[in-house]
A and B are shown apart, each in its own frame.
Chain A
Amino acid sequence: MSKPTDLVQGTLDLLILKIIALEPMHGWAIGQRISQMSNDVLQVGQGSLYPALHKLEQQGWIEAEWRGTENNRRAKYYTLTREGRRALKQEAAQWERLSVAISLIVDHP
């Protein structure tokens, strides 16, 4: 199963929101961008990406739209909704708190 065991639960949502907050993107590109930006540290299981995207869409945080791309192809582009933007801010703050808390413990001399 391609569950993101290597990612903290819920972080995949945050990563997706963050990536498409920069620009609308299709699924494959989101996966590529995550590895790229994390210097290949984070590998998102390709199979787990799509359920996550669909869930976010149902939650109303992101919107999808079919657009033409290079070579006369079509791809489903995801954009952040206003609600998604708000959610991103919250999730990011949450993550911030969490990572600070964890490093407080882990870095304790």
Chain B
Amino acid sequence: MRLVKTVRLRLRSMFRSTRVEHELAEELRDHLERQIELHMAAGLSRAAARATAYREFGNVGLVQEQCRDTRGVAWLEDLVRDVVYALRGMRRSPGHAAVTALSLALGIGANTATFSLVNTLLLRHLPVADPQELVELGSETSSGPGNFSYPLYERVRDQNSTFSHVAAVSSPVIRADDDGSEHPSLGRYVSGNFFEALGVKASLGRLLTPDDDRLDSAGGVTVAVISDGLWQRVFGGESSVIGKTFALGGTASPAGVPFTIVGVLPRQFQGLIVGRSDDFYVPFASEPRLNARSLRNSPAAGWLKVVGRLKPGIARNTAKADVDVIYGRFVDDAAASSSEAATRQRRARRMTVESARAGLSGPRRQFARPVLLLMGAVALVLVVACANVVSLLLTRGLARRAEIAVRLAVGASRTRLVRQLLAESAVLGLIGGGVGLAVAVWGTPWIAALMANGDPSVAYDVAPDSTVLIFTLLVSLGAALLAGLIPAVRVSRANVPSLREDAGARTARAGLSVWTRGLIAFQMALSLLLLAGALLLVTTLRNFRTGDFGFDREGVLSMGLQPARAGYTGERRLTYYRAVLERARNAAGVRSAALSLGMPVISGGVDTSFAVEGEPADPDASVGVNDVTDGYFDVTGTRFLAGRDFGPQDGPQSSPVAIVNDALARRYFGTRNPIGQRVRAGLRGVVEIVGVVATAKYQSLKEDDAPVIYVHALQSANSAGATINLNLVAKTAGDPLSVGLALRRAIGEVAPVRVTVPETLSSQIDRTVIEERLIARVLGVFALLAVGLAAAGLYGVLAYSTTRRTGEIGIRLALGATRSAVLWPVLAEAAKLAALGIAIGLPAALAVTRLLSNLLYGVTPTDARVLGAVVLCLLGVALIAASVPAWRASRVNPLIALRYE
């Protein structure tokens, strides 16, 4: 209460100061009037009474001042005065203010943009009830994180004692719209308790309930809730949407199953996975209606993400122990009906319970490290920007020494001066922060787009929220005050004698101060660090494009064939595939064509157990497998080392054939000739090896050589082609995409089967190195920014110092110095500073770029060529920045210079 009243009084004093002043004056006048009356009553004349009263009272102005001081707004008034003074100062030298504010704006903007992503990915809470109680249940294997199977989810849901709710959402998405349109709607299966667990309420209609998620649900399981986005986009935001239906297709019913919309989600709820907004949700119970081979009862299929709400007071560790026990029992129970290998794999799995307050993992796992790394890098950019501010304020402070010395001489206190100088940099910081925010609003979507990488289903909501605004404000003020403190303290040390010095300063203090030199070298060092990191990643990207991976991606494209959906099975499907292949090989612009289950690197790869016939089988032996037709290796440009490609002779009557890669041949046959050997490749059965090809990268560009077996995809009704959707792959001459679109039309004439939009192998491979690409591009921009800022800083101080030395230079030229004798020292100074920066920066770079080593490919953090290029680049930039002031110094006209003196 008291605080409120005090604040009210103070605010009143501030904003209605004329009224307050008026009241004070009136109060004192009243007092004096009464005193005068008192004296007149005692017999004095009015004039004498008046004089006495005033004499007794003392200095009216001083009393007023003292009353004002008690109101405690003096510091505020001072602040306002400082800010006004600062703005006036900036108007006097707008160039300086603009450069400083721009430096800060770029630094702050880059920081805000990066922080927006950190905020979106890691900090922002889900728009659900009590998000801090939510945890994600997961399982970790040696090869990475895994999902839950449905039976395991049911166990945890029903047997736990630590969660108030355990809900699940499918990891794979369901596509609603299978007509190949640009943005098909994407949805997921959810458990019936999903929305109840999250505490999300419908904005229209109702959400799903546990009743909807029972296989024998009275209301039917084919119900759906849709997102606000889908509601607006497709249904125009009409409330009549409730009760409408939309169709979902699946292997169980190619014609599509109608789902009834029962409710709409609130606008702010966009799903649990940051960056993926789901358009609709249907109950898990509807999955068997869509999938012929339902995953619901399989304990082996991991396709669920599980989210739990902790009971009050339960710690994550307690919950994890609970889940561990349930999982142990689950593995024991499943052991009876599983292979030994499967049980062994399950036992090796570890359960995890992680906070889900900011959403389920997913992109977070992929991007958290890159984004934090960029946050570290961008902090360095801000430091470089601040160094600019420091040196600009220092040089400006030198120019103002006279003014400051005078003010000190007439009694201004040093703290008061420092405060005023800091107010100036705070104003600069706020201007910089404001502009920086604009830079960030423009820059953040660019980084978010790099993360989404052209995938239309990915959208990061990076619009700045209050957290980002507060961050920007704090960084702006913090940076400005930090940058302002050194110059403010140094400048305020100016003393009265320095006033006399000033006339001579033009010659005596001509060079750069130690501080300024140090700052420039420091900036150079930080720029070198960022530049080295960026160049290492750019080299990595180049290596990803030009390295030898055992296949050639140029001109290769692929498109998915989906005969299953059209109801083609068995022999009919093989006939369709052969017809497609025939048509493709005859199409214009196609050099070679083939069918395949997977493509190098982009398909993720399929593993199969493996054994050589007649040798003892190793239960753990596992090799990569791909189902391909003849011509596949022509398309990928992979060389044959021995044997032959598949051919017409490989028909249903002859023995099933396969081709192996060099890595497999060496591992399982050593020096023996693998041709003619028979091997067992898991579900693909026993095949005879007819050829050996060079080893091509199978799962990722960075992997070590992996053994792979290529099985004929169309040989017989037992081949993969009879049951699985294959891709058409082609090597084209000319523009792959235009050839691809023509090819897609041509294939469409073979049969009414859906064919996906063609994509080039090259662009799909780029997508697999998305983190590297993200870091390389963003770090590249940051490095250029840092170098630019450092160059601007160098230019600024050199330009300033040569301008101050105009008189001296004029004298030297008048005494016969050559122009190059004036020019060279300036360039030499710049080179010296750059060299000093490099001397500091190189060891730092060697220490820091090690952080990047697991992102690099084909280049080490200590690569001499990269570091050499960075050093040359910095020297070059320093000389360019110095050349303008140097040239201008050498052009000084002695006559004018001396007159100016």
Given the complex, which residues of B lie within 8 Å of A58, measured CB to CB? 6, 9-10, 70-72
B34 contacts A by Cβ under 8 Å: yes
A74 to B56, CA, bound (A): 22
CB within 8 Å of A: which B151-173 residues? none
Given the complex, which residues of B lie within 8 Å of A76, measured CB to CB? 23, 26-27, 30
Q: How large is the interface on A (under 10, 10 to 19, 20 to 34, 35 or more residues)?
A: 20 to 34
Query: Which residue of B30, B35, B57, B66 contacts A26 across the interface (Cβ within 8 Å)?
Result: B30
- A54 near B67 with CB under 8 A, answer yes
- A47 near B62 with CB under 8 A, answer yes
- B5 near A60 with CB under 8 A, answer yes
What does the 1/0 interface line of A46-73 toward B look like (CB < 8 Å)?
1100110011011110000010000001
A95 contacts B by Cβ under 8 Å: no
A94 to B26, CA, bound (A): 35
A51 to B64, CA, bound (A): 8
* Minimum Cβ distance to chain A for residue B158 (Å): 61
A28 to B66, CA, bound (A): 17
A40 contacts B by Cβ under 8 Å: no
A24 contacts B by Cβ under 8 Å: no
Pick the most buried of A45, A46, A73, A75: most chain B CB atoms within 10 A of its CB: A46
Given the complex, which residues of A lie within 8 Å of B30, measured CB to CB? 26-28, 73-76
- B67 near A46 with CB under 8 A, answer no
**Given A45-B58, A76-B23: A51 touches B66 (CB 8 Å cut-off):** yes
B93 contacts A by Cβ under 8 Å: no
Given the complex, which residues of B lie within 8 Å of A45, measured CB to CB? 58
B63 contacts A by Cβ under 8 Å: yes
**Given A28-B34, A76-B23: A50 touches B2 (CB 8 Å cut-off):** no
A47 to B35, CA, bound (A): 13
- B57 near A46 with CB under 8 A, answer yes
Given the complex, which residues of B lie within 8 Å of A96, measured CB to CB? none
A97 to B2, CA, bound (A): 28
B828 contacts A by Cβ under 8 Å: no
**Given A2-B58, A45-B58, A58-B72: A50 touches B27 (CB 8 Å cut-off):** yes
Interface size, chain B (Cβ < 8 Å): 27
A40 to B849, CA, bound (A): 84
* Minimum Cβ distance to chain B for residue A71 (Å): 10
A60 to B7, CA, bound (A): 11
Pick the most buried of A50, A57, A76: most chain B CB atoms within 10 A of its CB: A50
Whose C-beta in chain B lies nearest to the C-beta of A61?
B2
B654 contacts A by Cβ under 8 Å: no
- A54 near B70 with CB under 8 A, answer yes
**Given A46-B58, A47-B58: A54 touches B71 (CB 8 Å cut-off):** yes
Whose C-beta in chain A lies nearest to the C-beta of B30?
A75
A57 to B27, CA, bound (A): 14
**Given A55-B70, A58-B71, A60-B6: A27 touches B27 (CB 8 Å cut-off):** yes
Given the complex, which residues of B lie within 8 Å of A73, measured CB to CB? 30, 33
- A51 near B63 with CB under 8 A, answer yes
- A47 near B9 with CB under 8 A, answer no
* Minimum Cβ distance to chain B for residue A23 (Å): 17
* Minimum Cβ distance to chain A for residue B8 (Å): 10
- B9 near A46 with CB under 8 A, answer no
A27 to B28, CA, bound (A): 9
Whose C-beta in chain B lies nearest to the C-beta of A57?
B9
CB within 8 Å of A: which B227-286 residues? none
B59 contacts A by Cβ under 8 Å: yes
* Minimum Cβ distance to chain B for residue A76 (Å): 5
B31 contacts A by Cβ under 8 Å: yes
A74 to B31, CA, bound (A): 11
- A47 near B63 with CB under 8 A, answer yes
Given the complex, which residues of B lie within 8 Å of A54, measured CB to CB? 24, 67, 70-71
What does the 1/0 interface line of B60-95 toward A look like (CB < 8 Å)?
001100110111100000000000000000000000
CB within 8 Å of B: which A1-19 residues? 1-2
Given the complex, which residues of B lie within 8 Å of A50, measured CB to CB? 27-28, 31, 63, 66-67
A74 to B23, CA, bound (A): 11
What does the 1/0 interface line of B15-58 toward A look like (CB < 8 Å)?
00000000110111011011100000000000000000000111
Given the complex, which residues of A lie within 8 Å of B72, measured CB to CB? 58
Given the complex, which residues of A lie within 8 Å of B6, measured CB to CB? 58-60
* Minimum Cβ distance to chain B for residue A5 (Å): 13
A77 to B59, CA, bound (A): 23
Given the complex, which residues of A lie within 8 Å of B23, measured CB to CB? 66, 76
Given the complex, which residues of A lie within 8 Å of B57, measured CB to CB? 46-47
Pick the most buried of B6, B23, B31, B58: most chain A CB atoms within 10 A of its CB: B31
A51 to B72, CA, bound (A): 12
- A47 near B59 with CB under 8 A, answer yes
Given the complex, which residues of A lie within 8 Å of B9, measured CB to CB? 57-58
Given the complex, which residues of B lie within 8 Å of A75, measured CB to CB? 27, 30
A66 to B70, CA, bound (A): 20
Whose C-beta in chain B lies nearest to the C-beta of A26?
B30
- A83 near B58 with CB under 8 A, answer no
A63 to B53, CA, bound (A): 27
- A83 near B31 with CB under 8 A, answer no
* Minimum Cβ distance to chain A for residue B788 (Å): 52
- B63 near A28 with CB under 8 A, answer no
Whose C-beta in chain B lies nearest to the C-beta of A45?
B58
CB within 8 Å of B: which A67-99 residues? 73-76, 83
* Minimum Cβ distance to chain A for residue B358 (Å): 44
Whose C-beta in chain B lies nearest to the C-beta of A43?
B56
A22 to B57, CA, bound (A): 25
Whose C-beta in chain A lies nearest to the C-beta of B66?
A51
- A51 near B58 with CB under 8 A, answer no
- B67 near A60 with CB under 8 A, answer no
**Given A60-B2, A76-B23, A83-B2: A51 touches B31 (CB 8 Å cut-off):** no
A2 to B65, CA, bound (A): 13
Whose C-beta in chain A lies nearest to the C-beta of B9?
A58
Query: Which residue of A1, A46, A59, A66 contacts B31 across the interface (Cβ within 8 Å)?
Result: A46
- B35 near A28 with CB under 8 A, answer yes
* Minimum Cβ distance to chain A for residue B26 (Å): 8
* Minimum Cβ distance to chain A for residue B29 (Å): 10
A26 to B70, CA, bound (A): 19
A28 to B30, CA, bound (A): 8
Given the complex, which residues of B lie within 8 Å of A28, measured CB to CB? 30-31, 34-35
- A46 near B56 with CB under 8 A, answer yes
Pick the most buried of A27, A51, A59: most chain B CB atoms within 10 A of its CB: A51
* Minimum Cβ distance to chain B for residue A88 (Å): 16
A46 to B62, CA, bound (A): 12
* Minimum Cβ distance to chain B for residue A72 (Å): 13
Whose C-beta in chain B lies nearest to the C-beta of A73?
B30
A76 to B23, CA, bound (A): 9
* Minimum Cβ distance to chain B for residue A16 (Å): 13
A47 to B62, CA, bound (A): 9
A67 to B278, CA, bound (A): 69
- A51 near B5 with CB under 8 A, answer no
Given the complex, which residues of B lie within 8 Å of A66, measured CB to CB? 23
* Minimum Cβ distance to chain B for residue A40 (Å): 14
- B2 near A51 with CB under 8 A, answer no
* Minimum Cβ distance to chain A for residue B756 (Å): 75
Given the complex, which residues of B lie within 8 Å of A59, measured CB to CB? 6
* Minimum Cβ distance to chain B for residue A107 (Å): 35
In the complex, the 4 A-B pairs of residues with the closest C-beta atoms, listed nearest first:
A47-B58, A51-B66, A55-B70, A28-B34
Can you identify 15 A-B contacts, CB atoms within 8 angstroms?
A1-B58, A26-B27, A28-B30, A28-B31, A45-B58, A51-B69, A54-B24, A54-B71, A57-B9, A58-B9, A60-B2, A60-B6, A73-B30, A74-B30, A76-B30
Additional A-B contacts beyond A28-B34, A47-B62, A75-B30 (14; CB < 8 A) = A1-B58, A2-B58, A28-B31, A47-B59, A50-B28, A50-B67, A51-B63, A51-B69, A54-B24, A54-B67, A58-B9, A58-B70, A60-B2, A60-B6
